[in-house]
C-alpha cells in the first residue's frame, strides 16, 4: 500500500493514503495492548493494630483499601499486596472485630489474583493459643460476656434482673477462649493461616516480613527457607491444638497420652523467636551493629529478598530503617492504647514510603524499574514532594514509567542507620491520574490529622 501511495499523486490516492493513516491505529491497537505487561501490585504493610478498629480502617485507607458508605463492601484502589505484621489482638477493645475484618478481606480477595492479604502471627496471637489472656481488654471481655448471657436470656433489664461485672467477666472469658479454640473460625484462622514469615513483592520490592524478625539460626535449622520455618511452626501449633482439643472432648480418658511440647519451649516461639525477639530493635554499639547487619545480609541472601520489615516494638516518632536501609522497623503504636495514629508502609518499584495522615516520609529511594511501553500502575494514594515519573526510552524501545524519588535522606537519629525518611506534605503531593484526584476528594474527606498522645512509650514491649 505504501508503494501504491508513493506512485500516485492524484486526489483519490491522497484520500486513500489519509484513510490508511486514520484506520491503521485501530487495527494495531489491539495487538499493542496485548503485549503490555501488567504493572506489579503495590506492596503495603500495616503494623501492630492491638484492638483499635478505628485506626485499623484509617490505616487501611492509607494503604489504598477503603470501605464503602454501606459499611459492607471494600474498595481496592489499584492492585495491592497487603501484609499485616501481627499483633492484631489485645490492649484495645475491638480485637475480635479486627480479626474478623481481615478474614473478610481475605475472602473478598480470594478470587482476585490482583489483590492479596496476608496476616502474620504475632506474640499476642501466640498468647491466645497459650490461653494467656492477661492483655485482652477488660471492656471487650465484659461486653462479650454481657452479650452471651443476654443472648441466652440469662439476664438483662427486660427480665427485671441482671448480673454484675464478675458474671460478665467470667462469661466473656469463656466466650473468648472458645472463639480462639481449635475448630472455631477465629481459632483456625490464627492457628493455621498465620505464618511466621512471608515474602512479598517483586523485583526491587521483594521483602521479607516477620512480626519481630527472624534470626539466621532459625532459617538454617529449618531448611534455609521461609517455607521450612513456617511448616515447622504450623506443625507444632497443630500438634498442641489437636492434643488440647482431644483432651477437652474426652475429659474422662486416661491421661497417659504423650503431650507435645509446650509452644513456649520451642525455638520458634521462645524469647528469641520470630514473634518475641528484641534483637533487631535493640540498641547496638559499633561491633554489635556490624555483626547484626552481617547476619541480616545472610538472611536476605538466603530468602532472596531486598529488606526485612518487622513490627513488635514501637518506634518514635515514626518508622525507621537500620543496616543501610535493609531493616525496616514499622510499629508506630497505631492503637489508641498507645499513640493512636494511622500508618502504612508502602513499596512501589523499589521506592519505600511511610504514610501517615497528613504526611509521607521517604524511607528508601528506589531505582526506576522498566516496564512495557504504555503500562501505568494505578495510583490511589498520596505521594510526597520530590516524586516524579521516570521518563525516557529504555533499551529495546521500552519506556520507563516508574517513579523516581529525588531528595536526600534527612533526620538521621543514630550512628547505626536508625533513620527516618524525608518528610513531605501529603496535601501538596502530585497525583498520577484522575482516580487519585477523586480518591483525594472523596476518600480523605472528613479525615484530619491526629497528633500523638502525650503518654510516651519509648521502645518498651507492646
Q: pLDDT tens-digit profile of 341-372? A: 999 999 998 999 999 999 999 999 865 444 33
**Rounded CA separation 234/248 (Å):** 21
**Rounded CA separation 37/202 (Å):** 14
Give the long-range contacts of residues 260-267, CB within 8 A, separation 24 or more. Answer: 260/236, 261/236, 262/130, 263/126, 263/129, 263/130, 263/236, 263/237, 264/130, 266/236, 267/217, 267/218, 267/221
Instruction: Tell me if residue 53 falls in helix, strand or coil.
Output: helix
pLDDT at 67 over 80: yes
pLDDT at 331 over 80: yes
CA contacts within 13 A on the Cβ side of 337: 25
* Most confident stretch, 7-11, 166-170, 354-358: 354-358
Q: What is the tens place of the pLDDT at every residue in 252-288?
A: 776 666 788 999 999 999 999 999 999 999 999 999 9
pLDDT higher at 153 or 44 = 44
**Do residues 320 and 413 touch, judged by C-beta distance below 8 A?**
yes
**Do residues 343 and 62 touch, judged by C-beta distance below 8 A?**
yes
Question: Which CA distances in Å does 243 have to 176, 178, 194, 249, 259?
Answer: 20, 16, 20, 10, 7
pLDDT at 437 over 50: no
**Main-chain dihedrals φ then ψ at residue 198, nearest 5 degrees:** -150, 135
Of 36-50, 111-125, 239-253, 369-383, least confident by mean pLDDT is 369-383
Characterise 446 by phi-psi region: left (phi > 0), alpha (psi -120 to 50), beta (else): left
Average pLDDT, the chain: 77
Question: Which CA distances in Å does 381 have to 24, 59, 67, 343?
Answer: 37, 12, 15, 13
pLDDT at 52 over 70: yes
pLDDT at 459 over 90: no
In this structure, the strands spanning 370-371 and 351-356 are unpaired
Query: What mean pLDDT do residues 438-462 have?
Result: 36
pLDDT band at 289 (very low <50, low <70, confident <90, very high): very high
* Most confident stretch, 45-54, 71-80, 237-246, 434-443: 45-54
Query: What mean pLDDT do residues 380-392 have?
Result: 32
pLDDT at 405 over 80: no
pLDDT at 374 over 60: no
pLDDT at 427 over 90: no
Query: What mean pLDDT do residues 371-391 have?
Result: 34
Question: Which CA distances in Å does 87 have to 221, 225, 461?
Answer: 25, 23, 12
Cβ density class 172-181: b for 16+ within 10 Å, e for less: bbebbeebbb
Closest CA to 328 of 393, 420, 403, 238: 420
Closest CA to 353 of 332, 384, 322: 384
Q: What is the tens place of the pLDDT at every residue in 203-216?
A: 999 999 999 999 99
Burial status of residue 239 (CB atoms within 10 A of its CB: 0-12, 13-18, 19 or more): middle
CA 280 to chain centre: 19
Q: What is the DSSP letter of 340?
A: -
What is the pLDDT, as a whole number, of residue 10? 65
What is the pLDDT, as a whole number, of residue 274? 98
Closest CA to 116 of 231, 212, 199, 213: 199
Q: What is the tens place of the pLDDT at every residue in 415-425?
A: 334 555 555 44
Q: Which residues are paired to 198 by β-bridges?
A: 209
Question: Which CA distances in Å does 140 have to 93, 127, 272?
Answer: 5, 17, 30
What is the pLDDT, as a whole number, of residue 419? 54
pLDDT band at 391 (very low <50, low <70, confident <90, very high): very low
**Rounded CA separation 154/324 (Å):** 60
Q: What percent of the chain has pLDDT over 90?
A: 55
Query: What mean pLDDT do residues 124-136 have?
Result: 96
pLDDT band at 448 (very low <50, low <70, confident <90, very high): very low
Amino acid at each position: 500500500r505504501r508503494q501504491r501511495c508513493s506512485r500516485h499523486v492524484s486526489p483519490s490516492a491522497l484520500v486513500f493514503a489519509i484513510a490508511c493513516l486514520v484506520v491503521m491505529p485501530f487495527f494495531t491497537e489491539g495487538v499493542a495492548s496485548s503485549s503490555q505487561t501488567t504493572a506489579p501490585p503495590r506492596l503495603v504493610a500495616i503494623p501492630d493494630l492491638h484492638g483499635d478498629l478505628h485506626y485499623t480502617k484509617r490505616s487501611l485507607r492509607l494503604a489504598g483499601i477503603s470501605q464503602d458508605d454501606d459499611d459492607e463492601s471494600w474498595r481496592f484502589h489499584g492492585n495491592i499486596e497487603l501484609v499485616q505484621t501481627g499483633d492484631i489482638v489485645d490492649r484495645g477493645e475491638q480485637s475480635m472485630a479486627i480479626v474478623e475484618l481481615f478474614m473478610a478481606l481475605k475472602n473478598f480477595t480470594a478470587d482476585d489474583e490482583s489483590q492479596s492479604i496476608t496476616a502474620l502471627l504475632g506474640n499476642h496471637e501466640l498468647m491466645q493459643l497459650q490461653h494467656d489472656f492477661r492483655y485482652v481488654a477488660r471492656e471487650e471481655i465484659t461486653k462479650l460476656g454481657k452479650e452471651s448471657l443476654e443472648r441466652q436470656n440469662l439476664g438483662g433489664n427486660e427480665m427485671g434482673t441482671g448480673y454484675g461485672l464478675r458474671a460478665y467477666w467470667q462469661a466473656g472469658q469463656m466466650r473468648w477462649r472458645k472463639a480462639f479454640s481449635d475448630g472455631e473460625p477465629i481459632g483456625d484462622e490464627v492457628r493455621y493461616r498465620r505464618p511466621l514469615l512471608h515474602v512479598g513483592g517483586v523485583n526491587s520490592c521483594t521483602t521479607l516480613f516477620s512480626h519481630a524478625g527472624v534470626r539466621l539460626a532459625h532459617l538454617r535449622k529449618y531448611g534455609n527457607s521461609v517455607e521450612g520455618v513456617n511448616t515447622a511452626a504450623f506443625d507444632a501449633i497443630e500438634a498442641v491444638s489437636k492434643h488440647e482439643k482431644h483432651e477437652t472432648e474426652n475429659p474422662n480418658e486416661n491421661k497417659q497420652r504423650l503431650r507435645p511440647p509446650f509452644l513456649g519451649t520451642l525455638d520458634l516461639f521462645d524469647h528469641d523467636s520470630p514473634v518475641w525477639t528484641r534483637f533487631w530493635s535493640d540498641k547496638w554499639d559499633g561491633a554489635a551493629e556490624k555483626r547484626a547487619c552481617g547476619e541480616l545480609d545472610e538472611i536476605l541472601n538466603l530468602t532472596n529478598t531486598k529488606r526485612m520489615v518487622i513490627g513488635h516494638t514501637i518506634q518514635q516518632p515514626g518508622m525507621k530503617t537500620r543496616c543501610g536501609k535493609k531493616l525496616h522497623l514499622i510499629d508506630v503504636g497505631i492503637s489508641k492504647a498507645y499513640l493512636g495514629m494511622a500508618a502504612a508502609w508502602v513499596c512501589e518499584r523499589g521506592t519505600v514510603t511511610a504514610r501517615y495522615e497528613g504526611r509521607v516520609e521517604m524511607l528508601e529511594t528506589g531505582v526506576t524499574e522498566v516496564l512495557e511501553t504504555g503500562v501505568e500502575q494505578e495510583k490511589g494514594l498520596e505521594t510526597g514532594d520530590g516524586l516524579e515519573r521516570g521518563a525516557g526510552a529504555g533499551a529495546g524501545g521500552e519506556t520507563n514509567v516508574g517513579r523516581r524519588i529525588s531528595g536526600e535522606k534527612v533526620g538521621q537519629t543514630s550512628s547505626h542507620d536508625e533513620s527516618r525518611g524525608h518528610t513531605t506534605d501529603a496535601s501538596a503531593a502530585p497525583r498520577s491520574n484522575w482516580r487519585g484526584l477523586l480518591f483525594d476528594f472523596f476518600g480523605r474527606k472528613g479525615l484530619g490529622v491526629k497528633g500523638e498522645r502525650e503518654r510516651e512509650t519509648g521502645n518498651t514491649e507492646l
